[in-house]
Structure 1
Amino acid sequence: MLKMARMSIEKSESLKFYKYLCQNIGSEEVVRIRRLAFTIKDIAQCTKTITSGSMGEGLNLNGSDFDIMVIDRNFKVFQSETEVQSQCFATPLIMNTEETQPCFTQLLLLSHNIMTVHDVFEKNHRGYMLSSELFKLVYKKFAEVLIPGLTTGNIHAPCISDQDGFLDLAWCLKCDKWIFQAKPWINRPRTTWPSPEIISKIVSSGVLFVPIGCKGSINEHLEWRISFSVAEKFLIFSFTHTQFLCYAMLKILLKEIVEKHEDLKGLLCSYFLKTLMFWISEETETYLWRPDKIIQCFMACLQRLLYCVKYSILSHYFISDNNLFYSRFNTNNEEQLTTILTNLYEQGVDCFVSSITLHDFQCQFYESTESLINSNSRLLQQIMPTFCAIFNQCRTDSVLRLIYEFLHHFRTALSRDLFALQLPKAFMFVTGKTWNKRNSGNKHHYLKYKQDLSHLVIGLHSDAVSGWLKLASFFYVHKKFLASLTVITYALKKYTDEKIYIGFFVYYSTLNRIQTHAVNLMKKEKLHKIVKSLTVHFLTFIMDSSIIPQELQLDITRTHNSFHPLPFAHFLKFLCFYHLHDLSSCRQSLQLLEQVQRILSHSGTKVFIPETLNTVILCGIARQLMGDTFIARQAFKEAADHDEYNFTSAASRLSNLI
């Protein structure tokens, strides 16, 4: 009887803890939304990209970075010359693993010309090898042009990272076939996980190669690491939610507890934890990963990690000849890490009291059922960071690709909701394209006008306000100032207190009382209707956009640029009144613009955010047009002083006034 009572208590505690984790890490629905949103984002790219790392897996933890793998289609990797396809338009590379450690390879150029060899290849006794080091340097320069935020970026392992360490870009190569080193994995004895269907999908997806060699190898600069990122996403996505939460807890344990010890930072990494989870999952019956056993499951994972560290053994999941912990630890840090993990294991889940994410689980009040109202606002709050990351990822050639994928591959109501959010945004990017000036006759202009207008009408459904402001900007560019003013007035009426500006949500990841109440009132609406009705995006204009005011063309000559919608609306009103020669209304709009600028500058938002700096520049442009050169110069100088990475036009505008 005592044993049964104890088991009942353990199950009850596990279920409470499971519910707490769902609320703080993410429920099954939240995780599914995050994953699907990033999948759609990847589809929308003009290049073949894969969102990997925590975000791509469905997590949004403290300090999570944004990992993107970009497949370089200029090259294609083959295992042997006999596999090379005659119709292959990419430069063929042949794997050479005879002189490398497991999980690494050299890539031999099958045929070459002087132009190709000069850039990223290096000759050795076997021929021309693609240098991972030179490859990264070339793409670092390319990334700095493509993404201004990487102008001070650095190379971190196989990735090119931004200054803040939030964005990691890894250009990689692909082999369409499953490589022979990993073939034993296919038929390895296992319990029930992964399923034959998952194994089949993984094998058909091939493998990737990232530009980093084996540390300490004499040919490190010529070696490439074999990456199974695509396969790993399939495996993570096949986890039960209990497995997934255990994986998340291990990551929290590492980042928020273990790495508080400075001398242990970097000793373990998320990839090791992922590998550990794969091995445990393969050796365990899937039915054991249940919500009422989550504490027991997590403790088993922690015990396994302790064992692996203590005996310095953690085999690579796909190529088991590679011991990831070989020579990883010295005597001192191995003893220190073992002691810490042992202490954490003895505390059980109480160890999370010292974490940031899960510190309050002991005092959390658990209701037996959560009301639809609370779950609705919690859902939006948990998925908003994902939307912040993907909303402006569409490109001008993505509309047809999105529509095709939607019609052919996505059938669920959730996928339709997310596509309903992404498509209008994509249409607005298409609208921004500048027409071909060689075909600039009246008929072409008329057709272009009608096409842009139809796209912008679709774009009105992207959010509550920014679509309307882009339409207003379109009318302004076409000198329809009264129409523009009418649309701006309507947009400003929609910009009410309950609206969620996603540009600020990145820094204040909670809904306030008014916003929460507004979400709760829409509890019966579908997700995409809630998001488009209550969220406001920043206005992004692509490079050389045809629908941005001429006064702002200088701000989009190098790359795309973003503006906060509220000051942009007042600035656009100012411009309309300026061209209508209504000076009284001009001054009134300028006063409102500067009032908004002061509010934003004291809102606690980081001053170097581009749309915040651009608000100061808008004030400067308006003052310059009104003849207040001194005040305009002060505004441009203020923006330039804070524009550490030269994102904006502030310095250029300032030099033109001196």
Structure 2
Amino acid sequence: MAPELKPTVEDRIQRLSESVFVGLCRLVGTKQQLAIRRDVAAILEIMIKEVKTMEEDSVLFTGSNREGFRMEGSDIDTMYWPNNHRVIWNESQVSIYPTTPQAILISDVSDSPPGYTLLQLPTPIACQEVLSSRVTIDGSEKIYVSSFKYRQNMCSFIRPNSLVHGPSGSGMVGVLEYDDVHGFFSDFWPPPAYGWIDRCRRQSWPLPLLLYDIISSGSHVVPIAHRLGNHIENEWRISFASAERKLVLSLNHCQFLTYGLLKLFLKEVINKGLKDEEKVLSSYHIKTCVFWVVQQSIVSWCPQNLLECFWICFKLILKWVYNGECPNFFVPENNMFLTKIYGAVQQDLFTQLYELYEKGMLCLLLCHSVGPFISSFIDNPEYFINTDENMLFSKTELSVELVKEIDIKDSLPLSKPYKCFRYLTITERLTTLLFLTQNHAVFLQKITVSVFKHTAFILFNHFKDGNKALYLADKIAIRLLKIASRFGFIFEMLYLALYYYKTCRYEEALAIIGTTKAKLSDPQECRGKSRHIDTKVLHQAAVIDIKLNNSICYLKELMIEQLLCQQAKKMLLQVPSFVLLHMVEFLCSMNTDELKAQEALRNLRELVHKDEEVYIQLMSRDISWQILGICQEVAGDIPEAIYSYQKSLKQHPFHKIQAASSIRLIIAIYKIWFLKPKRCL
């Protein structure tokens, strides 16, 4: 009998890589999860692009969230640019715009560092924000657009009270950080990056078809100057955000997980305990490193080699820090370390990275999210590791992921009838495409349901006069809402209950609420509601917030909140589905049965007081307390209403309804002091 061969060091590293690979699939996502996130985002982008007008800004979703990451700290990066402004790299390119009335900005790279440019405005035809950013440079008669002034003008254009951070306006939406960048688009690939095209052809990455797609998709400029440039307030950085996104989406799964592992290592080890201003190594440097390593094709990217891939990338970063040079992937002459990593900072960072290098690959034990997967393998090296991603998550879990992604992305502006019609037209056209996946189909179905729901209320609010017109609008609205209830998730039925309450059909509304409760208690009752989603997941869908468009009146009781939300540039009021269910049940019962109204109010109070982020998420607690206070005030329990309004003011101000809470609080106090309160239920 031949002796059993002992595993070599290489074999152990490969098995350890497999263990980390499986762990990263759980932390970062499997191929199926990434497909869900990216498919839903792709449909949203198509819908926005197809509906926008020439006067509206174009939108590009970038950053880690769009790439498919859902780890803590994955921010939402969005780039905006005026659709009727274009950047050209030489004056001959203006000939492609013979009739379209566009503002033309001419790039001037002659006196700027690599990767940066000045923007000349040859004519006074531009939007007001551009015109107010005009400057002259060094006594020249030419007019340029100042990046500093434009950034200041646009910082809070989308979201009020945003803070300038690099080229963007930054802040928090609930627990998520956002970066909104306002720049300009060019239909042409920038001349400073022509060398990148030749390098890609030599290295065969990206593949020719993707390379052509990237080049033909143009580029952007964003308002941030080089710190060592000659025009620190006027230069613009050439942005390859669109190209970078396409490259990340083209990575195979092992490459993407390596990228994710490097991001985790950066956050949990290298930058651990540092303030934002102390962090000199960024995730953009990590992304650049991955691009360079993938293009060099010096390793086989597979689960067994994941740690080797990580180590190659780490050593390249170490080399860059040692040399004080990080070449931009598209314009290598642009050294991205030049203004940040030099002198004592460079020496300290190199010392830190070299100490990690001396630990070898086991330095990953310092990464608290990945370390346990390494420790478990070290403790039990003979344990069988199954790298089949299909075995990691059940179909139900993947369906839950899909429902959550759809809920996040289902936020199209549906306040105008012509846009609702356009969305339906685009949805119908997209359903005929051959490349449509199951994820696409489910999201398109949800968009159709959303359009039907909002169109119903728009119609009713529009036809307020004339018996015949109002009768027809009412008939169409009910039909649309019934279709939405049939093909949507469970909570879509609440919109029909809202409509019945709005039109004083209290018994019908209560019947819908009763049916909804029955569906929630037995998910199998919902079989057939969606052909593409496991019916067990529909119960999970019920805890998703109801999104009320602030441009549409659904309940007169929430008009103040919607108005103030809209003034704060909040498009939606997100109400937890169970909170809205109890609210509508209470309001309807107030007109039919006081005992049932008491029960509904008790249920609402118990839910808001005792829920621990099961049915009411952190971002929805302000509106939940507000609704409880409104219902208590309607019931005549003014002291309890005052308490609820005060609690609403203490919650995270996600909906910006503090003014509404204060107004209702003042009115409630007035009622106590000057008016005789109603009899409490």
In the TM superposition, what is the alpha-carbon distance from 1:207 to its structure 2 partner?
Answer: 0.2
In the TM superposition, what is the alpha-carbon distance from 1:387 to its structure 2 partner?
Answer: 4.3
Structure 1 pair 607–179 and aligned structure 2 pair: CA distance change class (3 A): closer
Whether the aligned pair in 2 keeps the contact of 1:492 and 1:566 (CA below 8 Å) is: no
Whether the aligned pair in 1 keeps the contact of 2:31 and 2:389 (CA below 8 Å) is: no
Q: 2 CA distance for matches of 1:554 and 1:440?
A: 24
Q: 2 CA distance for matches of 1:121 and 1:403?
A: 45
In the TM superposition, what is the alpha-carbon distance from 1:216 to its structure 2 partner?
Answer: 4.1
Written as runs of structure 1 = structure 2, the 5 A alignment for 1:334-413 is 334-362=346-374, 363=376, 367-368=385-386, 374-376=393-395, 379=398, 386-387=405-406, 389-393=408-412, 395-396=414-415, 397=419, 398-408=423-433, 410-413=435-438
1:155 equivalenced with 2:164 (yes/no): yes
Alignment counterpart, residue 638 of structure 1, candidates 637, 647, 653:
647
Q: 2 CA distance for matches of 1:105 and 1:409?
A: 42
Q: 1 CA distance for matches of 2:233 and 2:451?
A: 40
2:36 is matched with 33
1:503 is matched with none
Q: 2 CA distance for matches of 1:240 and 1:467?
A: 38
Question: Secondary structure in 1 aligned to 2:143?
Answer: strand
Question: Secondary structure in 2 aligned to 1:479?
Answer: coil
1:181 equivalenced with 2:204 (yes/no): no
1:542 equivalenced with 2:559 (yes/no): no
1:122 equivalenced with 2:158 (yes/no): no
Whether the aligned pair in 1 keeps the contact of 2:513 and 2:581 (CA below 8 Å) is: yes
Q: 1 CA distance for matches of 2:127 and 2:248?
A: 42
In the TM superposition, what is the alpha-carbon distance from 1:15 to its structure 2 partner?
Answer: 2.8
1:575 is matched with 587
Alignment counterpart, residue 470 of structure 2, candidates 445, 460, 463:
445
2:146 is matched with 131
Could you tell me the TM-score, scaled by structure 2's length?
Answer: 0.83
For residues 406-432 of structure 1, the C-alpha deviation after alignment (integer angstroms, 9 at most, x for no partner) is 434743334323433444234434444
1:307 is matched with 319
Structure 1 pair 382–607 and aligned structure 2 pair: CA distance change class (3 A): closer
Structure 1 pair 344–137 and aligned structure 2 pair: CA distance change class (3 A): same
1:626 is matched with 635
Q: 2 CA distance for matches of 1:242 and 1:114?
A: 46
In the TM superposition, what is the alpha-carbon distance from 1:377 to its structure 2 partner?
Answer: 5.1
Question: Secondary structure in 2 aligned to 1:220?
Answer: coil
In the TM superposition, what is the alpha-carbon distance from 1:402 to its structure 2 partner?
Answer: 3.9
Letter in 1 for 2:580: F
Question: Secondary structure in 2 aligned to 1:260?
Answer: coil
- Give aligned-pair identity as a percent: 23
Q: 2 CA distance for matches of 1:129 and 1:165?
A: 35
For residues 207-226 of structure 1, the C-alpha deviation after alignment (integer angstroms, 9 at most, x for no partner) is 01112122243522222211
Gaps of 5+ in 2: 378-382, 567-571, 671-681
Which piece of structure 1 moves more, 634-643 or 50-59?
634-643
Alignment counterpart, residue 22 of structure 2, candidates 13, 19, 31:
19
Structure 1 pair 158–449 and aligned structure 2 pair: CA distance change class (3 A): farther
Letter in 2 for 1:30: Q
Question: Secondary structure in 2 aligned to 1:313?
Answer: coil
Letter in 2 for 1:15: E
Q: 2 CA distance for matches of 1:308 and 1:635?
A: 56
1:425 equivalenced with 2:450 (yes/no): yes
Structure 1 pair 114–497 and aligned structure 2 pair: CA distance change class (3 A): closer
Question: Secondary structure in 2 aligned to 1:76?
Answer: strand
Written as runs of structure 1 = structure 2, the 5 A alignment for 1:219-618 is 219-262=231-274, 265-284=278-297, 288-362=300-374, 363=376, 367-368=385-386, 374-376=393-395, 379=398, 386-387=405-406, 389-393=408-412, 395-396=414-415, 397=419, 398-408=423-433, 410-433=435-458, 437=462, 440-460=465-485, 464-496=489-521, 526-527=532-533, 531-532=537-538, 534-536=540-542, 537-546=544-553, 548-558=554-564, 559=566, 560-580=572-592, 582-600=593-611, 603=613, 609=619, 611-618=620-627
In the TM superposition, what is the alpha-carbon distance from 1:653 to its structure 2 partner?
Answer: 1.6
Letter in 1 for 2:351: T
1:211 is matched with 223
Which piece of structure 1 moves more, 368-377 or 190-199?
368-377
1:504 is matched with none
1:108 equivalenced with 2:120 (yes/no): yes
Whether the aligned pair in 2 keeps the contact of 1:432 and 1:542 (CA below 8 Å) is: no
Letter in 2 for 1:575: L
In the TM superposition, what is the alpha-carbon distance from 1:268 to its structure 2 partner?
Answer: 0.8
Gaps of 5+ in 1: 145-150, 500-517
Q: 2 CA distance for matches of 1:249 and 1:337?
A: 19
In the TM superposition, what is the alpha-carbon distance from 1:530 to its structure 2 partner?
Answer: 5.8
Could you tell me the TM-score, scaled by structure 1's length?
Answer: 0.86
Structure 1 pair 347–461 and aligned structure 2 pair: CA distance change class (3 A): farther
Letter in 2 for 1:26: G
Q: 2 CA distance for matches of 1:453 and 1:417?
A: 23
Structure 1 pair 40–403 and aligned structure 2 pair: CA distance change class (3 A): same
Written as runs of structure 1 = structure 2, the 5 A alignment for 1:31-70 is 31-45=34-48, 46=52, 48-70=58-80
Whether the aligned pair in 1 keeps the contact of 2:460 and 2:474 (CA below 8 Å) is: no
Count of residue correspondences: 626
2:110 is matched with 98
Structure 1 pair 98–436 and aligned structure 2 pair: CA distance change class (3 A): farther
Which piece of structure 1 moves more, 435-444 or 229-238?
435-444
1:72 equivalenced with 2:82 (yes/no): yes
Q: 2 CA distance for matches of 1:545 and 1:561?
A: 11
Structure 1 pair 284–530 and aligned structure 2 pair: CA distance change class (3 A): farther
